[in-house]
Structure 1
């Protein structure tokens, strides 16, 4: 097996590595402290779906939902995605 150093990673790969390390650290912290939340978590922190973000809804069963905000139109049976954010 060949040893590949960090210098061989391009910028997106290095960023993904940092994100994976942070996610692992957060998961380990939640496991160690038997909690289901992370304080000071960035409001927008997704690995492969950066367009999916936490949306505060204030519902009793779930304060936060995850999803993309979208605007969709249907005209004459055709659906058009107007905006995805």
Structure 2
């Protein structure tokens, strides 16, 4: 059974959402319904990890290095001419 609801949203968001819906061959109501179904269903599901995944948890130990510094160095070396 479908029930109507009233939402108060920014008008620009509604315009953009309707354009998105049209491009994706759906409507705003369908998009909202799918989103609500997704968040409700995903919050009710708990992910069961397999024994293999559980056994691998915590296996890799990372040092406390500054990844940004290393990434900067890597990218600068990569793009040198």
Higher strand content, 1 or 2: 1
Q: Calculate the TM-score normalised by the size of structure 2.
A: 0.27
Q: Calculate the TM-score normalised by the size of structure 1.
A: 0.26
Q: Which has the larger radius of gyration?
A: 2
Higher helix content, 1 or 2: 2
